[in-house]
Amino acid sequence: MAEKKGKKKSKYTTVSIPTPLYKKIKKRIEETGFTSVSDYVTYVLREVLASLEEEEKEEAFTEEEEEKVKERLRALGYLD
């Protein structure tokens, strides 16, 4: 099979984290199945993003709540 010419695009990239945090994670993964700090950080970030996305989806509000907050925002001068 012919190989593609040129630089192969990596699936990974580098991010910086504070050294004390790195050390803290390194210590923590000793009690887990994670084999590297990168794997642990990837896991935590995926969890955080999923939780943010989940909460965005769940943010349904009733008409009554919307009316109530509109009224308050008017009283505070934010809305005409």
Enumerate binding residues for another protein (CB under 8 A): 48, 51-52, 55-56, 59-62, 65-66, 68-70, 72-73, 75-80
* Closest approach of another protein to the CB of residue 66, in Å: 7
Six-digit token string for 80: 């005409």
Q: Outline where 1-80 has alpha helix (H).
A: 19-28, 37-58, 63-75
Closest CB to another protein among 23 and 68? 68
**Residue 63 CB partners (closer than 8 Å, separation 6+):** none
* Closest approach of another protein to the CB of residue 76, in Å: 6
